[in-house]
Amino acid sequence: MTAVHPWWSMVAIAVYFAVMLLFGYLAFRRTRDLGDYMLGGRQLPAPVAALSAGAADMSGWLLMGLPGALYLTGLVEVWIAVGLTIGVWCNWYFVAPRLRAYTQVAGDSITIPTFLDRRLHDGRHGLRIASGIIILVFFTFYVSSGMVAAGTFMESTFGIKPWLGILIVGGITLAYTTVGGFLGATWTDVAQGLLMLAALIVVPIMAVIKLGGWSAVTDTLAQIDLATGSQHFSLIQGASILGIISALAWGLGYFGQPHIIVRFMALKTPQAATFGRRVGIVWMVLISLGACASGLIGRAFFAETPLPNQETVFLALSQALFHPLVAGLVLSAVLAAIMSTLSSQLVVCSSALVEDLLKLFRRELPARRELWAGRAGVLLVAIAAALLAFTAQDTILSLVSFAWAGFGASFGPVIILSLYWSRLTSWGALAGMVTGAATVVVWGKSALSTWLYEIVPGFAACLIVAVVVSLATAHVDERITTEFAQARQLSTRARREPK
């Protein structure tokens, strides 16, 4: 695809940028202290939390990585979307209500590391420090993947250098996140989630109409399959049992993604999780179908002139189907996917630096200094991720998959055990977390990752080690027993009395 300079599209995207900055400013006006900056004062309505969690989850991978994978190899790549959809439902059902209740019971914790520290009464704070470090390490890769997607987007759409695209998109995201914090990220996430949903419904439908109907799409793909020996409509062609397990295992990652589960902590009440789950799963199903359809239909649409970079298929469809002004609005959905995830991740990184690390060594900080320290943390992580993005050689999907596995394997089992098993100890959680993270790094950087996704051995290793070490270091703590019972009672009541 030859890049052009559609000025109408530039105008549409400039308007989008302006609206995001406006949201950041409005959030800035309502941010008074670190609690507001990191968690929005626990006042998120269920639909807002659901859309925000979804948008924060689905980065540039949704509109670039996933459609590109289906464009290249077909429906065999859909197993990832299936695993993620199952993971979303389980996360909302099993984690959301109890985490919202327990973080309130455990000293009104506003971050995941602080929650684990207080939940397990870790007087040494080793768990909190390890959690903060893991968040900073893996989120640097995760944020970098978003910046790589931003550079690819700007190059494919406007023909500008990727590094300049990284600076533009990263700079705008950094601006509204730095000043607006959690509320700024959340409000923009809602707008971005709705924009992504609209784009993923409209683009595939218009492409099918342009091609002459669904039968024309299937006929064209059949011809491509005959000529190339591929099978775009096969769910198993070219896949192994371990490959399908690896794809489905993406769903395990949800339990340990700090930028997603922090939305559960910000709900108004534990009862709100019921309605949030319904909104979240409907949104997830619709956008997954749209992304998968875009990849398959795009392969048929560009049958005569295959794209040099399959991850730009959604961008190419938008430019081919619409007037530049409308295309600009559609293309803004790609930026929405990238920027919503970036902003959420930057806020969590900031919380790890300030709430989980800095405050351990300087406990008494004025509220205003805490707030500005949080903003400085956002800036530092963004700079580190941008430097990594400038030299990145991996695809968007590979960067995301590594970071996703890191969080899923290090935090996922520990979060589940902390919510449902009263005998978890701080030593067990720490050992499991470090083991899970180390397994992902070693496995993911070896040839073993080519036949089994590193989240599978990492998740299993974390779970086993956490349980074994907890049993070996078990002790009776009345505070833990009492708080565990209180949290269970609150979350049980939430399921019985949905609001």
Distance of alpha carbon 38 from the chain centroid: 17
Question: How many CA within 13 A on the CB side of residue 263?
Answer: 35
For the cut 70, the answer to whether the pLDDT of residue 381 exceeds it is yes
Q: Please report, for residues 156, 308, 309, 320, 329, the alpha-carbon distance to residue 2 in angstroms, rounded to integers and kept in the order given.
A: 8, 10, 11, 11, 20
Q: Where are the alpha helices (DSSP H) in 93-161?
A: 96-105, 112-119, 126-158
| pLDDT (tens digit per residue) in 11-70 | 888 888 888 788 777 777 776 666 666 666 677 889 988 988 887 777 667 777 789 889
What is the pTM assigned to this prediction?
Answer: 0.83
Query: What is the residue-wise DSSP string for 439-474?
Result: HHHHHHTSGGGGTS-THHHHHHHHHHHHHHHHHHT-
For residue 2, is pLDDT > 50? no
Residue 320, Cβ density class (10 Å: 0-12 exposed, 13-18 middle, ≥19 buried): middle
* Alpha carbon distance 348, 260 (integer Å): 10
Identify the residue with better confidence: 21 or 277: 277
Q: Averaging pLDDT over each range in 32-36, 41-45, 184-188, 276-280, which range is the top one?
A: 276-280
Q: Which helix (H) or strand (E) holds 82?
A: helix 78-90
**For residues 256-281, average pLDDT:** 90
Count other Cβ atoms within 10 Å, centred on residue 499. Answer: 12
Q: How far apart are CA 490 and CA 482, in angstroms?
A: 13
- pLDDT in the model for residue 325: 79
* 189-216 tens-digit pLDDT: 788 788 889 889 999 999 999 999 999 9
pLDDT (0 to 100) of residue 333: 74
Q: What is the pLDDT of residue 99?
A: 94
The domain 7-397: what is its CATH number? 1.20.1730.10
In this prediction, residue 282 has a pLDDT band, given cuts at 50, 70 and 90, of very high
Q: Which residues contact 345 (CB under 8 A, 6 or more apart)?
A: 56, 139, 142, 143, 146, 259
Rounded to whole angstroms, the maximal C-alpha distance in the chain is 70
pLDDT at residue 109 in the model? 83
Cα–Cα dist 43/49, whole Å:
10
| Nearest Cα residue to 170 out of 379, 455, 398 | 379
b/e per residue 216-253 (b: at least 16 CB within 10 A): ebeebbeebbeeeebbbeeeeeebeeebbebbbbbbbb
Q: What share of the chain is helix, strand, coil (3-state, %, to 5)?
A: 80, 0, 20
* The pLDDT of residue 166 is above 90: no
| pLDDT tens column, 218-227 | 999 999 988 8
Q: What are 308-365's pLDDT values in tens digits?
A: 888 889 888 988 898 877 878 777 777 777 777 777 777 777 777 776 666 666 656 6
Other CB atoms within 10 A of residue 426 CB: 23
What pLDDT is recorded for position 171? 83
Residue 5: what pLDDT? 46
Task: Write b or e for each residue in 43-70: b if 16 or more Cβ atoms lie within 10 A of its Cβ, otherwise e.
Answer: ebebbbbbbbbbbbbbbbbbbbbbbbbb
364: amino acid identity, one letter: E
Averaged pLDDT of the chain = 84
**More confident of the two residues 26 and 431:** 431
Q: Which of 15-29, 279-293, 411-425 has the lowest mean pLDDT?
A: 15-29
User: What is the pLDDT at residue 414?
Assistant: 97
**3-state SS, residue 44:** strand
Which residue has better confidence, 238 or 234?
Answer: 234
Nearest to residue 374, comparing CAs of 7, 35, 22, 13?
Answer: 35
Please give the DSSP secondary-structure letter assigned to residue 107: T
pLDDT confidence bin for 233, thresholds 50/70/90: confident
pLDDT over 50 (residue 137): yes
Q: Is the pLDDT of residue 396 over 80?
A: no
pLDDT of residue 385: 76
> In this model, does residue 181 exceed pLDDT 80?
no
Every domain of the chain and the residues it spans:
7-397
Report the number of secondary-structure helices (H) and strands (E) in the chain: 22, 0
Confidence of residue 374 (pLDDT cuts 50, 70, 90): low
pLDDT band (50, 70, 90) for residue 239: confident
